[in-house]
């Protein structure tokens, strides 16, 4: 719970109506660890400290229970008006546990947090368990180690290991200790692990980019990192005021007075980050791991190759099953841009966040904006031969009876056809010209985007894959 974790949690709680949150667990990392309370010293080379320490920049284990959830409780009645699926504050309090926090990478003993993960992994509920590693992986690693110690050399081991490997999906905002490399990868190579560290270039500390910070600028989204916008639309009300931004006067245990955190001494911050202005976006290094799960119409958590608000990932290795966020993508004008995989969604992500923060302020459903639904008629795949046209039809609906403007675009990296296709929009429909040089079996990803005209315009999507058919085979399309 350093400042970027806190900001990420503030956002996450506004999406708890979309997720079935099973646990919220304090953990350690190379940047924060509590110590064992026995004055035991710890040291690893290459860290920010140069001598053995008994604890390092620890922010405590009460922030969530004593600050975040009570603030959520104040706005919970309003949130339920906008969606009754929001969990109660009492339910959220019951989900908080303490994991392996003593030292960086410590996984020597079971904890309340690791036992909770272990129980969830062994519950035989046939659905994935997304393990969001906002810090180190040590508490997750300890849960897996405990399962191994209990079942290794038993008749059930092969079955249990396979089931756990299928169920667990580790989504990490970088590997912030060495337990993935030393334990998880060699001992549980079939667990899918997604490292979304590439998303830091969009969502993590923006220091020294200042006025030259182009994050999201390609899509006209630079405004949504600015101090005036953050202060007016996010840091509002009893809940939003907890959000962290540059030079907002807030402070928490563990902050350093040199600008690495949000120190209250402006001169200190300016010396490290001279271009930042009050209330500029500070950091949310951990939304990178739950943005891929937010239901927008295009998210497919089982297939990281397809994009989401968390960007796309590619498989780094199959054993261990490791995926990493893509570092760059092509813009509409054909220019490769670093972090464009996540930058391209910034405006939609931030406006959605602002709309939900507005929900916290009003108990009248009609005073808030709610996302439209956007659908392509006819399924997720259509087939057509090279040189033909495909007509796509769509429908939209909006719970607030707002108008929904639609547009269609090719997501080049999602498909296997390397060229550009022509899309002609006709109202709610579009015609896709399948290029004559497209090869049978190649795919073309077409995204339908719909944005309403409410306060804080909200955007949702749908996707269709145009699959190039073999001549003489079954196909859908028209000339």
Looking at residue 265, its pLDDT comes to 39
Cα 43 to its chain centre, rounded Å, is 31
Fold of 1-368: Inosine-uridine Nucleoside N-ribohydrolase; Chain A (3.90.245)
pLDDT tens per residue across span 66-80: 999 999 999 999 999
Question: Alpha-carbon distance 115 to 396, whole Å?
Answer: 45
In CATH, what class is 369-479? mainly beta
How far apart are alpha carbons 206 and 183 in whole angstroms? Answer: 32
Q: pLDDT category, 397, cuts 50, 70, 90?
A: very high
Helices (H) and strands (E) in the chain, counts: 15, 17
Percentage of residues in the chain with pLDDT exceeding 70? 90
Give residue-wise pLDDT tens across range 110-134: 999 999 999 999 998 999 999 999 9
Quick one: pLDDT at residue 334? 84
Domain with CATH 3.90.245.10 in the chain: 1-368
pLDDT greater than 80 at residue 452: yes
pTM over 0.85: yes
Give the pLDDT of residue 260: 40
* The two three-digit tokens of residue 378, written as one number: 């006819």
Contact 79, 368 (CB under 8 A): no
Over residues 170-181, mean pLDDT: 97
d(CA 443, CA 56): 50
List, by residue range, all CATH 2.60.40.10 domains of the chain. 369-479
Q: How far apart are CA 91 and CA 61, in angstroms?
A: 18
Segment 249-257 shows an average pLDDT of 63
Judged against a pLDDT cut of 60, whether residue 21 lies above it is answered with yes
Per-residue pLDDT band at 3 (split at 50, 70, 90): confident
Q: Which two tokens stand for residue 32?
A: 């924060």
Mean pLDDT of the chain: 91
Q: Give the position of tokens 């009645």.
A: 77
Model pLDDT for residues 290-323, shown as the tens digit of each residue: 999 999 999 999 999 999 999 999 999 999 999 9
Token reading at 71: 């603030």
């Amino acid at each position: 719970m350093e400042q970027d974790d806190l900001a990420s949690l503030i956002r996450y709680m506004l999406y708890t109506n979309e997720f079935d949150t099973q646990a919220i667990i304090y953990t350690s990392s190379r940047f924060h660890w509590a110590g064992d309370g026995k004055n035991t010293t710890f040291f690893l080379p290459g860290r920010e400290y140069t001598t053995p320490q008994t604890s390092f920049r620890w922010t405590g284990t009460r922030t969530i229970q004593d600050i975040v959830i009570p603030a959520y409780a104040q706005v919970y009645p309003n949130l339920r008006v906008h969606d009754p699926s929001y969990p109660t504050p009492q339910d959220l309090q019951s989900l908080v546990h303490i994991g392996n926090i003593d030292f960086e990478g410590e996984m020597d003993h079971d904890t309340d947090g690791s036992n909770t993960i272990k129980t969830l992994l062994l519950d035989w509920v046939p659905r994935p368990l997304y393990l969001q590693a906002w810090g180190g992986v040590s508490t997750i690693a300890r849960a897996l180690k405990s399962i191994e110690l209990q079942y290794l050399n038993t008749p059930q081991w092969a079955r249990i290991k396979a089931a756990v490997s299928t169920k667990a999906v580790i989504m990490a905002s970088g590997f912030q200790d060495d337990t993935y490399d030393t334990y998880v990868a060699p001992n549980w190579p079939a667990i899918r692990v997604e490292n979304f560290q590439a998303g830091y270039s969009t969502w993590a500390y923006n220091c020294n980019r200042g006025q030259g910070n182009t994050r999201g600028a390609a899509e006209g989204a630079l405004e949504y990192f600015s101090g005036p916008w953050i202060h007016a639309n996010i840091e509002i009300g009893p809940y939003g005021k907890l959000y962290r931004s540059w030079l907002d006067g807030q402070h928490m245990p563990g902050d350093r007075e040199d600008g690495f955190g949000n120190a209250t001494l402006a001169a200190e911050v300016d010396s490290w980050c001279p271009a930042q202005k009050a209330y500029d976006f500070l950091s949310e290094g951990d939304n990178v791991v739950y943005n891929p799960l937010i239901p927008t119409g295009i998210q497919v958590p089982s297939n990281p190759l397809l994009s989401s608000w968390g960007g796309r990932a590619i498989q780094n290795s199959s054993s261990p099953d490791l995926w990493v966020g893509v570092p760059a993508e092509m813009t509409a004008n054909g220019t490769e841009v670093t972090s464009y995989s996540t930058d391209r969604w910034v405006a939609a992500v931030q406006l959605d966040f602002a709309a939900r923060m507005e929900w916290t302020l009003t108990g009248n459903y009609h005073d808030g904006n709610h996302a439209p639904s956007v659908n392509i008629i006819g399924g997720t795949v259509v087939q057509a031969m090279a040189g033909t046209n495909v007509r796509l039809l769509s429908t939209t609906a909006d719970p607030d009876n707002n108008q929904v403007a639609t547009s269609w675009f090719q997501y080049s990296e999602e498909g296997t056809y390397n060229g550009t296709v022509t899309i002609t929009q006709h109202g709610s429909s579009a015609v896709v010209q399948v290029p004559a040089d497209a090869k049978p079996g190649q795919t073309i990803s077409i995204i339908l985007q719909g944005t309403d005209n409410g306060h804080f315009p909200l955007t949702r999507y749908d996707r269709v894959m145009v699959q190039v058919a073999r001549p003489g085979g079954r196909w859908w399309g028209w000339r």
